[in-house]
Chains A and B, each alone.
Chain A
Amino acid sequence: MGKAYDKFIERQQLLEKQYDDAYYEKQHNRGKLTARERIALLFDEGTFEELDAFAPPASVSFGKSTKAFGDGVITGYGKVNGRQVYAFAQDFSVLGGSLGAVHAAKIIKIQDMALKTGCPIIGLIDSGGARIQEGVQSLNGYAGIFRRNVLSSGVIPQISVIMGPAAGGAVYSPALTDFIFMSAGTSYMFVTGPDVVKQVLNESVSPEELGGASIHSTRSGVADFAFNDDENTILGVKMLLSFLPSNNIENPPFVASDDPITRIEPSLRDIVPDDPDKPYDVKEVIKLVVDHGRFFEVGENFAPNFVTGFARMGGQVVGILANQPRIMAGTLDISSSTKGARFINICDSFNIPLITFEDVPGFLPGTDQEHNAIIKHGAKLLYAYTYATVPKITVVLRKSYGGAYIVMNSKGIGGDFSFAWPTAEIAVMGPEGAIAVLYRKELAEAADPVALKKQLAQKYREDIANPYIAEEKGFIDEVIDPATTRLKVIRALQSLEKKSISIPKRKHGNIPL
């Protein structure tokens, strides 16, 4: 082959020169890893195949420089923990990771490949944004990416990992994907950056305050995960992937566990306090019931009054939702309704059964909630639960009043199994409210209203707000011994393995948006 082969080798060497020490140092000094290192961390050793490594930028004025192979993005495929995955990593060190026509075309190519082969696609975002010099070609590049995000939505898992700036139009691609990870301290997401904010509104704000990992994982809820640094973020991505199937036809990966299905946990009987006003941590319940106590929480710091996350039960991946009585008494509000609805939608897309642990006194009252459309957002959660066709199991731990009872996957809206603990209280409203309404006259006339109220509340709890009435009428399938929760849920889950139902065909429903 001689000369042809030599030329091939020469070209390879030119590419290597682009990734010299300065390349690594610059990025490290910013506290970030380079795109190459991130790819190496993500994929199993030696399994990554890069595509289009030599693609030069579209704009001629840059083409002369030899340091622009790849046009600022590394794309390709490989194995992550043994499973085929496509990924792209924007390279901040090459042309600032800015998106030009070729950069976009490379991403679009693997988006198409991922969709064609039914594989998950992971995007590591670290970009200065659209390349101004390329003008409308850059914008069109983004449009192509967004289009494919939508076409693949719910077909293959799409994960965005923000590991640097993601500003302007560039944030919409992650927003269209299923999960967003952010690397704390070095990543930002905003539609309009601090400079423009200063110009237009005269408001001084740092990138971190405007759209850093902390803001998006606690206040806006845009980011589902925020990890301390690049390494931990990528470990988190791999962890998440282990719970998802490769596409919407496959089942999520089943891992036979050595945690016995028949494991009884007597401590579950003591977690819910006798005093119905006392809080407890529902995550303790979850950890005792799932395989090996391993619970991977999604959106931990956003709407902490509602807990969502993945776990395995009896080896099967399940999506867990729970009210958190420790925070805001576990009430449902706008944030928690949207958080829950989104999580349900993702699980439903990817054949992941839903297990719900319920202890909710109702929706949060107040003008703040009402004027911001809690009606619509609460309805979102209700819609999502009703629409989902995956197996749905509910365990009522304590309170379950009124609208919240219905919304949290009651049998009436299509829940497959509903269990209740002996501490469950299922009623139209709590004792205090109910007594005030039903016995208004008697209380007004009573000599000792406090004592009468206590007495009536006790009677209410005995006669109405207990799980046995619901059990007798079939709305609760069984009141169970809390210690056997794991066993009961897994058996129910196993019976639902081949669940398959259809809903009337239509272009798409109208979830209240």
Chain B
Amino acid sequence: MIKSILIVNRGEIACRIARTARRMGIVTFGIRTRKEPNAVYLSAVDKILDFPDTDGKVAEFLDIENLIALAKNNKIEAVHPGYGYLAENAHFAKRCREEGIKYIGPAPEVIQAMGDKIMAKKIAAKCKVPMLGGSLDSVKDVAEAAKLAQKVGFPVIIKAAAGGGGRGMRIVRTEAELPVMFKLATSEAQSAFGDPSVFIEKYLENPKHIEFQVVADSHGNVVHLGERECSVQRKHQKLLEEAPSPALDEKLRAKMAKAAVALAKEVQYESLGTVEFLLDKFGNFFFMEMNTRIQVEHPVTEAITGLDLVELQIRIASGEKLPVTQKEVSLNGWAIECRINAEDVQSGFAPSMGTIRRMRLPQGNNIRIDTGIMEGSEITPYFDSMVAKLIVHGKTRKEAIESTLQALRQFHVKGIKTTIPFCKAVMLNKVYRNGSFDTSFIETEMDSMVHREEKEEFIAALLATYFYTHETTPVVSSESSIDPWVLKRRIKHL
């Protein structure tokens, strides 16, 4: 069993990893940066290492060599990358291996292969995993793109091979726009990722986004832990997730799980991984990509399976076999995760900066809150705006929704604006409640981004009036005595 772990991450995931590692008796190391010397995650770890002074050109948690040096100099056995930062950086994983540091995640070659979107598609094709029609390789020029687009049928999407996040991506609906869009996508890909290669894929309008959690050990055992429904998204950012998905029945689940497991087996996957699919309105699913790390929304899977995913990662990295077989995995009840971000929903989800003056968290046996901040924490432009993840479990989907609503009603933050009213609005939305929503949900089904109640508006009006009358009333008194000594001298000096 691994005895020490350096967590090369911050915020809530660092707290999360430390929590499990400590429970397992493993010594945890956290990294302190100048930007947040008093961050909460530092009190979750056993030992704190200071990140060395550099010229700051590379962000601390992206500075591979310095991070490796910290692990080596302190003789730390393993490294956990969390999510984001270096979590899917094959070079970092390789460097760890070269320096004899255990990397808690898949092998660098697997990270590399799955990180390259085109390579990933080729592997998926080999396993006969359903995919969207399009190119299996990068497209050489506009002519080739046009031919493929014709074959596959419009609309198509041009995607960058070397990266994602919406950059180097262009949706093309007609043949006429293809040349322009092609040029835009390739130049954007070049400036964002240094590689102009793009490929063409059929574009699905408003699909559902379903991902499957797989876990594999170094002995060839691969198991899936069910799916997560992640269609509530805004500009490709997930805002709310749930497990399982209301769109899957046992048959479909089995089909998709089989594909996910096949993919993992093909690359001899190790550790935690997530296979993302798009689901159309007719029950057809298509492979999108595979994420070779632990994901933000992993708690909903933990809630319905009763398994600790971070613990699984650590055990696998220590060489142990998976503690469960597929038959032993059962999905119980329903879990919903709300991402509470410091954003002003009413102003287009603009970041709400400031200091969290007070927090009141909901309590309950079926409520879990993962957070990396506390009262007094400052929300700065340097890091993401996540305040907390609220995960609620229920016996049924209906119960989970009601419990989530209840928990949101008890969740109060003072000092910044949050997405809590948005999450409430989603919970109360008819389309969300009947489960028939897809990735266009936020744009098309929500009239108002927040749940406004008439009573609340009245309270605001009343309060404003109350404060106004108090502020504009000056305090008066008729006290006007002056010490005679002062008066005499004052007159003399005039």
The residues of A with any CB-CB pair to B shorter than 8 Å are 81-83, 232, 235, 238-239, 241-242, 245, 248-251, 253-257, 270, 274, 312, 351, 389, 450, 497-498, 500-503
20 A-B pairs (CB sep. < 8 Å): A81-B474, A81-B476, A83-B478, A235-B472, A238-B474, A239-B472, A249-B487, A249-B494, A253-B479, A255-B477, A256-B479, A274-B37, A312-B475, A450-B55, A497-B483, A497-B486, A498-B486, A500-B486, A501-B493, A502-B489
Residues of chain B within 8 A (CB-CB) of A503 are 493
**A-B complex: 7 closest residue pairs judged by Cβ atoms:** A242-B474, A500-B489, A81-B476, A255-B477, A235-B472, A255-B475, A239-B474
The winner among A270, A500, A501 for most chain B CB atoms within 10 A is A500
Residues of chain B within 8 A (CB-CB) of A274 are 37
Report A275 CB to chain B, min CB distance, Å. Answer: 9
Report B321 CB to chain A, min CB distance, Å. Answer: 49
Report B125 CB to chain A, min CB distance, Å. Answer: 53
Instruction: Assess whether B490 is interfacial by the CB under 8 Å rule.
Output: yes
Instruction: Assess whether B383 is interfacial by the CB under 8 Å rule.
Output: no
Q: Is the CB of B475 within 8 A of A242?
A: yes
Given A248-B494, A249-B482, A501-B493: 14 more A-B contacts, CB < 8 Å: A81-B474, A83-B478, A238-B474, A239-B474, A249-B487, A251-B480, A255-B476, A256-B477, A270-B376, A389-B493, A497-B483, A498-B486, A500-B486, A500-B490
Contacts A81-B474, A239-B474, A498-B486 given; indicate if A250 touches B494 (C-beta within 8 A).
Answer: no
A257 to B489, CA, bound (A): 28
Report A353 CB to chain B, min CB distance, Å. Answer: 13
Contacts A81-B476, A239-B474, A270-B376 given; indicate if A251 touches B494 (C-beta within 8 A).
Answer: no
Q: Is the CB of B479 within 8 A of A254?
A: yes
Instruction: Give the nearest-CB partner of A252 in chain B.
Output: B480
Report A237 CB to chain B, min CB distance, Å. Answer: 10
Contacting A at CB under 8 A, from B454-492, are: 472, 474-480, 482-483, 485-487, 489-492
Q: Is the CB of A251 within 8 A of B482?
A: yes
Q: How would you classify the secondary structure of chain B's contact residues: helix, strand, loop or mixed? A: loop
Binary per-residue interface labels of chain B (402-428) against chain A in the complex, 1 for a CB within 8 Å, 0 otherwise: 000000000000000000000000000
Instruction: Give the nearest-CB partner of A502 in chain B.
Output: B493
Report B337 CB to chain A, min CB distance, Å. Answer: 32
Residues of chain B within 8 A (CB-CB) of A249 are 482, 487, 490-491, 494
Instruction: Give the nearest-CB partner of A498 in chain B.
Output: B486
Residues of chain A within 8 A (CB-CB) of B474 are 81, 238-239, 241-242
Instruction: Give the nearest-CB partner of B489 in chain A.
Output: A500
Q: How would you classify the secondary structure of chain A's contact residues: helix, strand, loop or mixed? A: loop
A170 to B477, CA, bound (A): 35
Residues of chain B within 8 A (CB-CB) of A82 are 476, 478
Q: Is the CB of A250 within 8 A of B476?
A: no
A497 to B485, CA, bound (A): 11
Contacts A235-B472, A248-B494, A270-B376 given; indicate if A498 touches B477 (C-beta within 8 A).
Answer: no
Residues of chain B within 8 A (CB-CB) of A83 are 476, 478
Residues of chain A within 8 A (CB-CB) of B480 are 245, 250-251, 253-254
Residues of chain A within 8 A (CB-CB) of B493 are 389, 500-503
A208 to B487, CA, bound (A): 46
Report B431 CB to chain A, min CB distance, Å. Answer: 42
Q: Is the CB of A253 within 8 A of B477?
A: yes
A238 to B376, CA, bound (A): 38
Q: Is the CB of A250 within 8 A of B482?
A: yes
Report A91 CB to chain B, min CB distance, Å. Answer: 26
A245 to B476, CA, bound (A): 12
A245 to B483, CA, bound (A): 15
Report A161 CB to chain B, min CB distance, Å. Answer: 16
Instruction: Give the nearest-CB partner of B480 in chain A.
Output: A250
A255 to B476, CA, bound (A): 7
Q: Is the CB of B483 within 8 A of A498?
A: yes
Residues of chain A within 8 A (CB-CB) of B475 are 242, 255, 257, 312
The winner among B474, B478, B493 for most chain A CB atoms within 10 A is B474
Residues of chain B within 8 A (CB-CB) of A248 are 494
A497 to B475, CA, bound (A): 21
Residues of chain A within 8 A (CB-CB) of B487 are 249
A450 to B482, CA, bound (A): 60
A254 to B490, CA, bound (A): 18
Contacts A498-B483, A498-B485, A502-B493 given; indicate if A253 touches B472 (C-beta within 8 A).
Answer: no
Residues of chain A within 8 A (CB-CB) of B483 are 497-498
A503 to B494, CA, bound (A): 10
Report B478 CB to chain A, min CB distance, Å. Answer: 6
Report A351 CB to chain B, min CB distance, Å. Answer: 8
Contacts A235-B472, A248-B494 given; indicate if A254 touches B486 (C-beta within 8 A).
Answer: no
The winner among A81, A257, A270, A312 for most chain B CB atoms within 10 A is A81
Instruction: Give the nearest-CB partner of B476 in chain A.
Output: A81
Contacts A270-B376, A497-B483 given; indicate if A242 touches B476 (C-beta within 8 A).
Answer: yes
A248 to B487, CA, bound (A): 11
Report A113 CB to chain B, min CB distance, Å. Answer: 20
A26 to B491, CA, bound (A): 49
A245 to B164, CA, bound (A): 68
Report B464 CB to chain A, min CB distance, Å. Answer: 14
A256 to B479, CA, bound (A): 9
Residues of chain B within 8 A (CB-CB) of A235 are 472
Report A119 CB to chain B, min CB distance, Å. Answer: 13
Instruction: Give the nearest-CB partner of B491 in chain A.
Output: A249
Instruction: Give the nearest-CB partner of B482 in chain A.
Output: A251
Report B415 CB to chain A, min CB distance, Å. Answer: 12
